Amino acid sequence: MIRIEGLAKSFGSHEILKDITLEIRKGEIFTLIGPSGSGKTTLIRLIDLLDYPTSGTIVFDGADTATSEKGRLAIRRRMGMVFQKPAVLNTTVSANVAFGLKFRGVPAEEARDRVQQALDLVGLVDLAGRRAVTLSGGEMQRVALARAMVTHPDLLLLDEPTANLDPVSSDLIEDLILRINKKFGTTIILSTHDMIQGQRLATRIGVIMNGRLAQTGSTSEIFYQPNGREIARLVGIDAIPNGIVTENKEGHALIRIGETCFEAMTDLRERQRVALGIRPEEVSLTPADASLKRSSVRNQFTGRITKMVPSGPFVRVSVDCGVRLTALITRRSCTELGFEVGTPVVAGVKATAIHVMADDGRATPSSPYP
């Protein structure tokens, strides 16, 4: 659908995007994930042909987009775009939805029907006659979605569509995105800084870091095998740096971090410096006095709870056992097991749940592990 090669964008001497090469396949939901200011919006604007790249090419369905204004308009008219901050024009909801059709010279009668269908899709038929500026943020974003979909685009671009919305409106928009993708087969590119949302929606994920495409892959690849500590932190893994592979027998490795020894699965050779990524939900905690030997749990460490941070129905529990491990425990089990700061516990992680990343051992500036 879209082939992007060596794409770069600078504003003055400030490089926003560097050397992006990416292919978007027909019918997929491709999610761009990255922290704020990483260049997601810039990339999406370039794909929608709103801005010109400094260098590199974007090929849309076989056609090079570096062409005349007229050619770019024709390509742009095959796309729909929803911006992070929904902008509606000061007129009715249905007139807002009709703009794309009006610009394309669609006859009024046909436009009327298609506006109706688009409003039906997003569930706003009842508000058709309302002045759009009086809507709530979530409703405005649904108007923006209907407005983009009314022209039946081949490609739908969504720039952080739920970033400014409450959870209920977010869910609604997410459902709509999935429905549009299923019902019309629309290829969708979506950017988000919400990893969980990316996971819920994406066929494939691209991680953008500091203007570079740091990793592209399926959801599970990104979440369980992040390519480096920064991506690990982005997808919710506190990576443990300063490890070294001391032994590796056919992929079954021993990794030493300080005084602690982990067993993990990796192809990385001995003496390789590594960081370990352990998803907090993979860490089990048991009270230290309960004697327990589960054979599948190779890595067991005793330590004390140093920090407990509530997170919805869960509690993030940090345990100091030579290295710091973080476990995600339900609030209920926390209470039942009587955990509090200072409680001695045994933390367990399966060898298969540890993701081993090659690492140069340098601490990233904001890493909690110096």
What residue ranges bind other proteins (CB under 8 A)? 48, 50, 73, 76-77, 79-81, 83, 85, 87, 89-92, 94-95, 98-104, 108, 111-112, 115, 128-129, 144, 147-148, 151
d(CA 159, CA 31): 10
Q: Looking at beta carbons only, is 25 or 102 nearer to other proteins?
A: 102
Name the phi and psi angles at 197, rounded to 5: -60, -45
Minimum distance between the CB of residue 24 and other proteins, rounded to whole angstroms? 18
d(CA 69, CA 59): 15
* DSSP letter (8 states) at residue 92: B
Tokens of 302: 């005793």
Q: Looking at beta carbons only, is 94 or 242 nearer to other proteins?
A: 94
Q: Looking at beta carbons only, is 22 or 79 nearer to other proteins?
A: 79
Beta strand 2-11 with 314-321: parallel, antiparallel or unpaired? unpaired
Q: Looking at beta carbons only, is 158 or 275 nearer to other proteins?
A: 158
Minimum distance between the CB of residue 111 and other proteins, rounded to whole angstroms? 5
Q: Looking at beta carbons only, is 81 or 177 nearer to other proteins?
A: 81
Minimum distance between the CB of residue 82 and other proteins, rounded to whole angstroms? 9
Minimum distance between the CB of residue 43 and other proteins, rounded to whole angstroms? 15
Q: Looking at beta carbons only, is 81 or 234 nearer to other proteins?
A: 81
Minimum distance between the CB of residue 241 and other proteins, rounded to whole angstroms? 42
Minimum distance between the CB of residue 154 and other proteins, rounded to whole angstroms? 13
Q: How many CA atoms lie within 13 A of 100 on its CB side?
A: 25
Give the ranges where the chain is alpha helix by DSSP (H).
40-47, 69-76, 93-103, 108-122, 137-149, 167-184, 195-201, 219-224, 229-234, 331-336
How many of the other CB atoms lie within 10 Å of CB of 81? 21
